[in-house]
Amino acid sequence: MRNSKPVRGKSLRKSLFLASGIAIAAALAIGLAATLYAGPAIAHPGNTCNPEPGHGTPGCHIAETTTTSPYTPTSAAGSSTTTPITTQGSSTSVVPPSGAVTAIDPNAVQMFADKEHCLSCHGDPSIKNLMTIKRPDGTPIILFVDTKVGSDSVHRYKDCTSCHGDEPHDVKSPLNKLSLSEKCGTCHEYEYAQWKNSVHGKPQFDGNSDPATCTDCHSVTSNPHNVVRVLDPASSTYPKNVADTCAKCHDDPKLMDKYGIVEKVYASYMRSFHGKAMNLAPGSAPLKQLDTATCTNCHGAHNISSVTDPNSPVAGMDNLLATCRTCHPDAQPQFVSGFLGHKAVNSDFLPQAYWGGKAFYILSRGMLAGGGLIVATSISLRGVPWVGRRIKRRRAKRRRKGEEE
């Protein structure tokens, strides 16, 4: 009877089962393939450009710069502007990283346009400790120019005197943040004009040098000799690095206390989806994978203004909506009202989300704890199945042996 029973529809069932397995594999394979082929395009279909230059939408610069890899000398030369600009701007307080350079590397020196042979003296590390020349405030001016630091500087083909004056020893070097930015502004006029009226620029004219000047953002070490091209992945202004650059000051509790800025902007940005997407992109990510918003996309860059300024792109729902729409074109006012910005939900701000989230958290974790409790109770009362089985088998064996004897 049993022999006659079995295989009605067995082959059909088997083939159906096989087909379902193939379907799973195919679905996963297609998904993976499609992802690897067109992944980034899925993430942000609607990233549009802010037409205003300097707004800092990273997508905008793709058309301008054909390459995002560390640039070649030709592209650097091609991008140079007509008016004089700096390689050497011995300025504020930058001490080049000590060590490493024991003699002038002739190859490194040749990377700089050095018509006046400034580096024959200033590139010599032995003058590092020569501190006889001082600023008005008494701090020494470091005369040594570390050519290693400047070797990928965007301005390395500019002659020293472009910034330091035609008569180099008649010291007209930029000596504070304001004069430095004025010097940069002789070429970068538009950016300088914007910065002058920004929340970073205005206080400089009142003698406050706390806010950022050009090199604070454009150089990792605030070293004017080390200004790297904006979209160089190593640059402090590369989209992936912008948040860290802003955090140099905006995550400094002392400095923020001084200006009464209480929000932990860096931490809250990294908690947000924008921050996570930026943070989790690989270090070598190309620009098109970094199309999520960073600080400058919402707050502006050279023209950055205080959030209390009614003209700030993030001040008030109307401005905020317009700013959101630069990347989310079909955003509605409710989309903005649900945007956390740098805040977290609490009993005053979006209370529905706060209490709802809290309630669900308690419910879900309570259920999970209950599940764990059930399993723990079951294990403790019934024993771990395989251990119990082994123990009983051993006891039985022993018992049998005893009987045999």
Partner 1 sequence: MSSRIVIEERRTGVAITRFDVQQRAQHLLLIASFFVLAITGLPLKYSEWAASAWWMGVWHGVDNVRAVHHYAAWIMIAVCAYHLMYIMVSRPFSTAVLPKPQDVKDFIQDIKHTFHLSKEPPKYDRFSYRNKAAYWLVYPGALTVIVTGLILLYPTQATAHLPGWTLPLALMVHSDAAILAIGWIVMVHMYFAHFSRHTIPFDKSVLTGKVPIERYREEFPLEYARIVASEKIPAPSRRKIQKPVWEDEVEFEEAAEED
Q: What is the footprint of partner 1 within residues 384-403 (CB under 8 A)?
A: 385-386, 388-389, 392-393, 395-396, 399
**Residue 381 sits in the site that holds partner 1 (CB under 8 A):** yes
Rounded-to-integer distance, Cα 56 and Cα 230, Å: 10
**Total number of residues that touch partner 1 (CB under 8 A):** 78
**Residue 48 sits in the site that holds partner 1 (CB under 8 A):** no
Read off the DSSP letter of residue 287: G
Closest CA to 142 of 206, 93, 107: 93
**Neighbouring-strand partners of residue 140:** 134
Q: How many CB atoms lie within 10 A of CB 296?
A: 22
Rounded-to-integer distance, Cα 31 and Cα 404, Å: 64
Residue located via tokens 């939408």: 57
Name the residue nearer to partner 1 (CB basis): 145 or 324.
324
Name the residue nearer to partner 1 (CB basis): 180 or 331.
331
Name the residue nearer to partner 1 (CB basis): 171 or 368.
368
Residue from 3, 74, 132, 308 touching partner 1 (CB under 8 A): that is 3
**Residue 22 sits in the site that holds partner 1 (CB under 8 A):** no
Rounded-to-integer distance, Cα 198 and Cα 189, Å: 14
**Residue 73 sits in the site that holds partner 1 (CB under 8 A):** no
Q: What is the 3-state secondary structure (H, E, C) of 199-211?
A: CCCHHHHHCCCCC
**Residue 45 sits in the site that holds partner 1 (CB under 8 A):** no
Where in 227-266 is the site for partner 1 (CB under 8 A)? Answer: none
Residue located via tokens 């270090």: 283
Rounded-to-integer distance, Cα 65 and Cα 79, Å: 10
> Within its chain, how far is the Cα of 373 from the centroid?
43
Rounded-to-integer distance, Cα 167 and Cα 163, Å: 11
Q: What are phi and psi of 140, to 5 degrees?
A: -70, 150
Name the residue nearer to partner 1 (CB basis): 310 or 372.
372
At closest approach, how far in Å is the CB of 60 from partner 1? 19
Name the residue nearer to partner 1 (CB basis): 136 or 402.
402
> Within its chain, how far is the Cα of 122 from the centroid?
34
Where in 318-337 is the site for partner 1 (CB under 8 A)? Answer: 328, 330-337
Name the residue nearer to partner 1 (CB basis): 234 or 359.
359
At closest approach, how far in Å is the CB of 265 from partner 1? 16
Residues 358 and 351 sit within 8 Å (Cβ to Cβ): no
At closest approach, how far in Å is the CB of 402 from partner 1? 9
Rounded-to-integer distance, Cα 250 and Cα 252, Å: 5
Residue from 104, 281, 315, 322 touching partner 1 (CB under 8 A): that is 281
Name the residue nearer to partner 1 (CB basis): 36 or 262.
36
At closest approach, how far in Å is the CB of 176 from partner 1? 38
**Residue 135 sits in the site that holds partner 1 (CB under 8 A):** no
At closest approach, how far in Å is the CB of 125 from partner 1? 38
Residues 166 and 245 sit within 8 Å (Cβ to Cβ): no
**Residue 40 sits in the site that holds partner 1 (CB under 8 A):** yes
Residue from 111, 277, 315, 321 touching partner 1 (CB under 8 A): that is 277
**Residue 35 sits in the site that holds partner 1 (CB under 8 A):** yes
Name the residue nearer to partner 1 (CB basis): 167 or 403.
403
**Residue 98 sits in the site that holds partner 1 (CB under 8 A):** no
Name the residue nearer to partner 1 (CB basis): 278 or 304.
278
Rounded-to-integer distance, Cα 327 and Cα 48, Å: 6
Residues 144 and 104 sit within 8 Å (Cβ to Cβ): no
Residues 276 and 293 sit within 8 Å (Cβ to Cβ): no
**Residue 11 sits in the site that holds partner 1 (CB under 8 A):** no
Where in 346-375 is the site for partner 1 (CB under 8 A)? Answer: 350, 352-353, 356-357, 360-361, 364-365, 367-368, 371-372, 374-375
**Residue 190 sits in the site that holds partner 1 (CB under 8 A):** no
Name the residue nearer to partner 1 (CB basis): 10 or 254.
10
Characterize 131-149 residue by residue with b for buried, 16 or more Cβ atoms within 10 angstroms of its Cβ, and e for exposed: eeeeeeeeeebbbbbbbeb
At closest approach, how far in Å is the CB of 357 from partner 1? 4
Q: What is the CA radius of gyration of the chain?
A: 32
Name the residue nearer to partner 1 (CB basis): 130 or 384.
384
